[in-house]
Structure formats: C-alpha cells, structure tokens
Amino acid sequence: MTDLPPVPFRNPRARHGFKSRTCSVTGVGSYVPSRILTNDELSRMVDTNDEWITTRTGIRERRIAAADEATSDLAAKAAVRALEFANVTADQVDLIIVATITPDMLFPSVACLVQERIGARKAAAFDLEAACSGFIYALEVGQQFIMSHTYDTVLVIGAEKLSSIIDWTDRNTCVLFGDGAGAVVLQSRPRSHGLLTACMGADGSKAGILCMPGGGSRIPASSDSVASRLHFLRMDGRETFKNAVLAMCTAANEALQRCDLSIDQIQCIIPHQANRRIIEAVAERLQAPPDRVFVNLDRYGNTSAASVAIALDEVVRSGRVKTGDLLLLLVFGAGLTWGAAVIQW
Ligand code: UT7
C-alpha cells in the first residue's frame, strides 16, 4: 500500500496509545458457489413469487452450495484469493479467525479446517460467532492482535452455508438467504492507513427474534427436536427489520464520530445485505447519497457473516474505490448484534 498524506481527521486509535502501529487491509477475496437459485425456482417450492420477493426484499437470486461443499470449503477458497491479492503465502499467516453461524460441525472450528486446507501451518485458529455481524466483530478482534504487536498477519473470514439451516418449506425465511464467503488479510503497513475504527454492540434481550433453537446444549438433537423443526433458522421478520435500521444507524454514527468524520466524507457505504428496504431506510436516515451505497443482495441474498466481506471484495476489485478513499461498513444480526467499521483504502 502506498504512503498517504497525514490523515485530516482524528484517528481514534491514537487515543489508546497505539500511535506506533496501524492495521491495513492488504488483501480481499471472496467465493460464492456456482449454483444459482432464482426466485422463479423458489416459487415452485413454496407459495411465493418473483414479484413479492423482489419488491419486499430486492433479492433476485442467491447461491447455494453443493451437497458435498461445507462452510470450510467456501471459506478456504475466499481465503486463498485474499492471500493472493495481498501477495502473502499461507505460511506467513499468524492467525485465522472465521466468523460463521454454520460451521461444518460443532467442533472443531471452521478456522482449524481452513488452516489445514490452505496450509497455514503456523497459524492459530478460532471461530467467532456474532451471526450476521460476525465479520466486523472478527475484523475488530483481528485488528487488536495487530495493534498489540501480537501478530503481523491475520486472516479474517466470514463464511456461511445458510442453505444447511434453512427450512425450505417456510416462505418467510427460505427466500432470503444464500451461501458464500469473503476474506481479508490484515497487516501493519507503516505510514499507511487501513482500519480506522470498528465498533460493536449487542442486545441479548432480543435473542429470540432471530435464532436456531435446536442442536445446542439447551435443546440437543433428538428425534423430537428434528420433528419439531428446531434445527432451522427462525425469524420475526418485522421486529428484525425495525431493529436492523435503528442499530445500523446508531453504529454508523458512533463510528463516524470516533473518527471525526461526517457521512459526506465517506466514498462508499457497504451495509449488511439483508433487505434493500433496510438499506434504503438506513441510507435515508444517515442522509447518505444512494449512489455511494453498495448493493449486491439482488445476486446473493443475505449471506450473514459473509455478506459485507463479499461486498467489500466486489467493491475493491471493481475499481470503485481508490487509495485514500473512506469506506463505512455496517452490520446487523442475531443476538442481537451490530457494528460499524471505517476503513481508509
Ligand atoms: O441478517 C439478519 C437480518 N435479517 C433481516 O434484517 C431481515 C429483516 N426482515 C425483512 O427483511 C422483512 O421483514 C421480510 C422480507 C422478512 C418480510 O417483509 P415484510 O414486509 O416485513 O413482510 P411481513 O413479514 O410483514 O409479511 C407480509 C405478508 C404476510 O402475509 P399476511 O400475513 O399479511 O397475509 C406474509 O405471510 O407477506 C407474506 N409473506 C410472503 N408472501 C409471499 C412472507 N413471506 C412471503 C413470501 N412470498 N416469500
């Protein structure tokens, strides 16, 4: 990354004594499965139609992983692309963090499976679960390891095979989600910028509005839990919608305030891709120009922890951002959880 002129705004990290080190995003990558599931196909599976899905959500199609393709397979492919972009070899990676709610199995972690798959022999590896907000949570955690000089190279991945926890008979949810993975490489680059701030929030009192009740220690898998369809994602859509708009706006304002930035200084906003109406409502409240808000949910639907990671990769590779541009990432998900990050490219 090239050297940049002095930052025209306050870097919030400086307040915490981290002046000596910055954390840059040196690589981006993503992978989506090749199988496309269209709205018309869904209308042959449940009582829905392309017009309803498109007008209520903005989604036209989503990607579905193959039966023999698990979350770690998607994650590893995105990771390899991010490493290539950063010109970093797998054995240089110190730490792998995977944000996911659809691990291959309860344990070991997807991160360990990715470590083996890509050959990152010396890397520590763990998963992090903050549902659709997981990628920003993982970015912040990864950044802390860089800033504290604990590690030099951190691979952060958001990856999901949501099709494995979707109730394909429930029209309220099955039209919304898709599979995919996105990854970034975090490194310290002297005299360049990168992740300026990441803020995170949570409200466990609303855990019930978006959850998968079965398969954990509360309701272990049994023939009863399977018969009661407890191993599928459940969502109160309207409640989730309201909270998503509020939380993403709050997170955006906090992140901007921490950096002494206003919304018109941001060149590209990358919101969690759950519903076009949520994105429009957030943009309107933040008074963000629509042409600065990136949307790709028409092609992928909601890919949870992978959503913003895939979008970031597409934004960067499309040439839409140039060195020095400011990006605002916004997420919201089950927990409830939310977050925002400001990146200077
Ligand atoms: O990543 C985590 C964050 N997730 C989200 O942020 C998702 C947030 N929620 C949403 O995006 C929206 O609430 C939904 C897209 C899930 C639903 O949109 P809505 O405008 O809130 O619709 P609704 O739930 O109020 O349902 C309106 C009607 C209902 O029919 P009745 O009860 O009014 O007769 C639903 O049964 O639409 C019906 N409906 C459908 N109709 C056709 C719900 N799903 C479908 C469908 N096709 N797929």
Q: Ligand 1: distance of its center to the CA of 175 in Å?
A: 10
Would you call 272 a catalytic residue per the annotation?
yes
pLDDT at 6: 40
Q: What is d(CA 89, CA 57) in angstroms, rounded to the nearest whole number?
A: 40
What is the per-residue pLDDT for 189? 87
Confirm or reject: Cβ of 44 under 6 Å from ligand 1. Answer: no
pLDDT by residue for the chain (345 residues), tens digit each? 344 434 444 445 544 544 568 899 999 999 999 999 999 999 999 999 999 999 999 999 999 999 999 999 999 999 999 999 999 999 999 999 999 999 999 999 999 999 999 999 999 999 999 999 999 999 999 999 999 999 999 999 999 999 999 999 999 999 999 999 999 999 998 877 799 999 999 999 999 999 999 999 999 999 999 999 999 999 999 999 999 999 999 999 999 999 999 999 999 999 999 999 999 999 999 999 999 999 999 999 999 999 999 999 999 999 999 999 999 999 999 999 999 999 999
Q: Rounded to the nearest whole angstrom, what is the distance from the C-alpha of residue 207 to the centroid of ligand 1?
A: 19
Residue 259 appears among annotated catalytic residues: no
| Parallel/antiparallel/unpaired status of strands 95-99 and 124-128 | parallel
**Which pLDDT belongs to residue 193?**
76
Is residue 172 in contact with ligand 1, taking CB distance under 6 Å?
A: yes
164 lines ligand 1 (CB under 6 A): no
CB–CB of 52/39 below 8 Å?
Answer: no
Ligand 1: which of 55, 100, 172, 331 to mutate, judged by most atoms within 8 Å of the beta carbon? 172
For ligand 1, mutation pick of 56, 173, 275, 298 (most atoms within 8 Å of CB): 56
In this prediction, residue 20 carries a pLDDT of: 66
Alpha carbon of 236 to ligand 1 centroid (Å):
9
User: What are the chain's domains?
Assistant: 12-192 (3.40.47.10), 196-344 (3.40.47.10)
pLDDT for 1 equals 39
Reported as a single tens digit per residue, the pLDDT across 252-262 is 999 999 999 99
**Ligand 1 pocket member 278 (CB < 6 A):** yes
Distance CA 14, CA 11 (A): 6
Q: 39 in ligand 1 pocket by Cβ < 6 Å?
A: no
DSSP string, 157-186: EEEEEGGGS--TT-HHHHTTB-EEEEEEEE
pTM of the full structure:
0.94
The amino acid present at 108, given as its one-letter code, is P
Helices (H) and strands (E) counted in the chain, each on its own, are 11, 13
